[in-house]
Structure 1
């Protein structure tokens, strides 16, 4: 089923969390689908995880989290076969000159901006035009259309990290992360669009600069890094370029890799594909019909769902193309969702 089918949204959500060990993931599913087809199973998982958390730790037999194998699931936990992943088309037999150039382009040296000690590092992205979306991809990516980014803007070199997020928590301006790790350079995640708005509001107050989420057009323009290919590095998947379960090491099932563990694109931006999904400012629309062509955010007066971009470490290679898009309700927290900040350059 296409990704913009209503049932597919629920199935995709469930597929992304069904192996999770975080009760908050199943709570997020129930918040989005209180009468969903997997609601009884989600409630059962929450009860089991909470019961396990109350048991004393058995030090003599620590859990072997490093094992990548997944145990087989009983039939009751898989009432319907999971939908097939979106197939990635085979690379063409001969590359165009433009695609070949994208394959060989090294990351350029870029000027970095940092407005405070706890602020994310920003990179300046030049003005320009590009073709947004894809006429050969998912229906939500159509129609491909020309977009003009009239002015340069600054965007996070990486996703916002746990350490950077916790500075906002310490100021009582952001909620405490329910999913975290030992390393401060892991991407902050399990965040709603509302949480992301609280963070950029705090950054703006700290720095006197107007921080915000990137628009969806800005995000794709930045993710492409000047390329016009399926992935920012070329037409075919290449190991070591993105943090996903089919993208090569370093990868682990339980959590994303630290930010900047993978190559930067030509604009100097890391993890635009994989790692965690990134909230953008736009309301969700099922297609690009009547989308703005000037790079502005596409919003409505009453908007219950917003766009996320980039895929996550839990998805396969078919979700890594720069055109892939999805959405969640504005208040839903999901352990694969994070953010990257942006601001105008005056």
Structure 2
């Protein structure tokens, strides 16, 4: 009898070891979500080649852009799959004098505002945004990257020679046209109310003047992605929500005059495009620059993907040959994972809309 009992316990132990070994293998294997992509047709736009220069026609070849800003849900998979050491301090805490505390303890997964799965990921900085693109390229065999300044301006404007695409005549001055709140989460009436209510912070004081718009976009701080109307190319949140890191460094012409040899150029500041919930919308051609090591809660990114030749919009051939019907480490095909991501986002958006309706 004792021999039989010991044999049963031995079999159970083997089963448990097998179960945990399989579980650990599945957990440690790469699991990722590919972004929903929009094909941007080739075209041109009048842009300055560098800040302060005269505008000239810039020709942009066709490429792909993620429909939404990179989310917490996507970035979490990168961290889990790679044990990535993300920043642990961030400019994110708001007081009555806004961000005067500077960088304090906080991270992409633990900061004052961006906490939901489908919020755009922030508190990562330019380096982590670039590292995420490199990792996604590695696991997919494709060529994901950050956008260039010219690509971003062209994609955001949808090729229109206007400061803002929502205005038929392009005459909006920093968003005075109320229709802009249909397209973007920006600094407006809800932002003013919520900042004053929750933090005692004001957008206009004797020492601080941040212009706000007369319209109301329904939310005071960050929003989950895709809540507003897309631009004519089908991209969401290009005017606001968070500002987006691009791959460009500050041009050498804007740095010290003795830094003329490009071989000695060191990137110390990186570019950002678009407005945010805290700012009025920026004209598409505008690029701001922050130190490369700056980590803040107003900055995130979205990805670009290179095309192989010119393909139809219905069947796009991208770099890499991974079969999207093959299962990933969690047993789901990439198509199914992306479908679940879109379903989850749609449910989160529906909940958000209902919540906003109840507040009114």
TM-superposition CA deviations, 1:82-132 (whole Å, max 9, x none): xxxxxxxxxxxxxxxxxxxxxxxxxxxxxxxxxx86122111111111111
Q: 1:152 offset after TM fit, Å?
A: 1.0
Equivalences for 1:234-253 in 2 at 5 Å? 234=167, 235=170, 236=172, 237=177, 238=179, 239-246=181-188, 248-253=215-220
The equivalent of 1:166 in structure 2 is 76
Q: Decide whether the 8 Å contact of 1:173 with 1:199 is kept in 2.
A: no
Q: 1:263 to 1:174 in 2, by over 3 A?
A: farther
> TM-score scaled by structure 1?
0.57
The superposition leaves residues 285-332 of structure 1 with CA deviations (integer Å, 9 ceiling, x where unpaired) of 3889xxxxxxxxx9983111111000211012xx43212220111111
Which of the two has greater helix per residue?
Answer: 2
Counterpart CA distance in 2 for 1:343 and 1:133 is: 24
Report 1:155-304 matches (<5 A): 155-171=65-81, 172-173=83-84, 175=86, 177=108, 178-179=110-111, 181-234=114-167, 235=170, 236=172, 237=177, 238=179, 239-246=181-188, 248-253=215-220, 255-285=221-251, 301-304=265-268
1:76 is matched with none
User: Does 2:7 correspond to 1:126?
Assistant: no
1:342 maps to which residue? 304
Q: Structure 1 unaligned segments of length 5 or more: list them.
A: 1-115, 289-297
Q: d(CA) in 2 for partners of 1:299 and 1:321? A: 32
TM-score normalised by structure 2 residue count: 0.55
Kept after mapping to 2: 8 A contact 1:280/1:308: yes
For residues 146 and 181 of structure 1, the distance between their equivalents in structure 2, rounded to whole angstroms, comes to 38
Q: State yes or no: 1:309 paired with 2:224.
A: no
Task: Report the alpha carbon displacement of residue 142 of structure 1 after superposing the two structures with TM.
Answer: 4.1
Q: What is the rounded CA distance, in whole Å, between the counterparts of 1:227 and 1:159 in structure 2?
A: 21
Query: What displacement does 1:344 show?
Result: 0.4
Paired residues of 2:40 and 2:233 also in contact (CA < 8 A):
yes
Distance 1:156 1:328, change over 3 A: same
Q: Which residue of 2 aligns with 1:145?
A: 56
Q: Distance in 1 between matches of 2:263 and 2:77?
A: 30
Instruction: Summarize deviations over 1:248-278 as a string: whole Å, max 9, x none.
Output: 444433x311111111111100111111110
Q: Are the structure 2 counterparts of residues 287 and 326 from structure 1 closer, same or farther at C-alpha, using a change threshold of 3 Å?
A: farther
Does the Cα contact within 8 Å between 2:68 and 2:237 map onto a contact in 1?
yes
Deviations 1:23-50 (A, max 9, x none): xxxxxxxxxxxxxxxxxxxxxxxxxxxx
Q: CA RMSD in A?
A: 2.6
How many equivalent residue pairs? 214
Kept in 1, the 8 Å contact 2:269–2:290? The answer is yes
Q: Could you tell me whether the CA contact under 8 Å between 1:226 and 1:266 is conserved in 2? A: no
Contact 1:282 1:307 in 2 (8 A): yes
Question: Separation in 2 of the partners of 1:324 and 1:300?
Answer: 27
Q: 1:232–1:322: 8 Å Cα contact kept in structure 2?
A: no
> How far 1:190 moved relative to its partner?
1.7
Answer yes or no: is the 8 Å Cα contact 2:252–2:265 preserved in 1.
no
1:123, 1:174 → 2: CA distance? 30
The aligned counterpart of 1:328 is 290
- Offset of residue 141 of structure 1: 5.5
